[in-house]
Amino acid sequence: MILDRFSVVGKVAIVTGAGLGIGRGIAIGLAEAGADVALAARTESDLEEVAARVRSIGRRALVVPTDVTDAAACEHLVILTVEEFGRVDILVNNAGGAMPRAAMDTSEGFMARTFAFNVTAPLTLTKLAARRMVDTVGAGAVVNISSRSASMTQTMFVAYGAAKAALDRMTRNIAPELAPRVRVNAIDVGGVATRSLDIVLTDDTLRRQFLDGTPMGRPGEPEDIACAVLYLVSDASSWVTGKVFDVDGGTEAPAMTVTAPILTPTPGSPADS
pLDDT of residue 272: 79
Please give the Cα distance from 83 to 64 (Å, whole number).
Answer: 12
- Asked if 48 contacts 245 with a C-beta cutoff of 8 angstroms, the reply is no
**Three-state SS at 68:** coil
Q: Which of 85, 117, 157, 160 is catalytic?
A: 160
Q: What is the mean pLDDT of each run of 10 residues along the chain (273 residues)?
A: 96 98 98 98 97 98 98 98 98 95 96 98 98 98 97 94 98 98 97 86 88 93 97 98 97 86 92 80
What pLDDT score was predicted for residue 199?
84
pLDDT of residue 257: 82
CA-to-CA distance for 210 and 200, rounded, in angstroms? 8
DSSP H helices, the chain, are 21-32, 44-57, 71-85, 108-115, 121-136, 158-178, 198-201, 204-212, 222-233
- Taking the C-alpha atoms of residue 270 and residue 261, their distance in angstroms, rounded to an integer, is 21
The tally of CA atoms less than 13 A away on the side-chain side of residue 242 is 11
Tell me which DSSP letter residue 35 carries.
Answer: -
Which pLDDT tens digit goes with each residue over 112-127? 999 999 999 999 999 9
Nearest to residue 38, comparing CAs of 89, 68, 81? 81
- The number of residues in the chain equals 273
Task: Report which secondary-structure segment, H or E, holds 141.
Answer: strand 140-147
Q: Write down the pLDDT at residue 169.
A: 98
**Is 160 annotated as catalytic?**
yes
d(CA 191, CA 247): 9
pTM: 0.95
Task: Answer yes or no: are the C-beta atoms of 68 and 167 closer than 8 Å.
Answer: no
